[in-house]
Amino acid sequence: MERWAHGLYRVPWQRPYGRLCWFVVVLGTLFLPIAGLLYGFWGEAAIPLMGVLLYVLFAGHLWAWGYYVVPTRRPFADYGLPWQGQLGLELARGWLLGTGSLGILLGTHLILGWQAATVVEATTLGKAVLAGLGTGLAVAVIEELLFRGWLLAELALLCPRTAAFWWSSGIFAILHFLKPLEVILATWVQFPGLMLLGLALAWSKRASGGRLGWAIGLHGGLVWVYYIVNTTGWIVPTGVAPEWVTGIGRNPLAGGTGLLVLGAIALYFRQQPYNYGK
């Protein structure tokens, strides 16, 4: 097994660009055959399971990459997830920042009459709260390990760390914006929002000694609130303000006011003292 792993993770091109490509090649080699079998047996019903499979394989692949390619004996810790109480504290603070900032934004929309609250059954809301909590945490952990953990470390081999922050944020925004052209044109305001969010998350890691606690908490908190509002239809636009102000596609962060919130968060972390460890 050890010999097989060493062979699989022997990068044929040692230049940084080659490392990036080989990471994707190995992940695809691990994922696609199993995903193909699942889809062949169950069709579209297997898609949720394929998503779980991709998350699990990615986590294992990331650990193996750090162990065999970097190399390091503590892959997750070096990517920003050390086994420290400080990490949990920062995660909780980031979660409060994410939920609080989005809650204040939606509350302001309600007060101004730009959006209105609808009646949602307690059971429906409760299910959304629990499902959103799990979804937000899972998405945040995996995406932060990918974009602010592994990708940022690999880009730092190509360019200065400050430039790596911008590149990783741009890649983060682009990969979240892979949609049909007509959808891109209709929701273009989401792109600068994703860019600002990516920068805020990268700068939060820089300000916390290389830990991902703040980034995971902020990311997860935003996803949590968005999931609850989006799946329950709890808060809806009234038509008083244009959609580009309140949020394209009912996404509160994809509008003018959302960009202001994300910009303020990004600026806050940008101004924090430089404390980058890894």
pTM above 0.85, yes or no: yes
pLDDT at 103: 94
The torsion angle over the Cα atoms of residues 269, 267, 223 and 252, rounded to 10 degrees, is: 170
Q: Tell me: the pLDDT tens digits for 60-79?
A: 888 888 888 877 888 889 88
Contacts of 87 (CB under 8 A, 6+ apart): 81, 211, 212, 213
Q: Tell me: the pLDDT tens digits for 94-132?
A: 999 999 999 999 999 999 999 999 988 999 999 999 999
pLDDT at 42: 84
Looking up tokens 């898609």, which residue turns up? 47
Asked if the model's pLDDT at residue 276 lies above 60, the reply is: no
Do the Cβ atoms of 136 and 230 come closer than 8 Å?
no
Asked if the model's pLDDT at residue 160 lies above 80, the reply is: yes
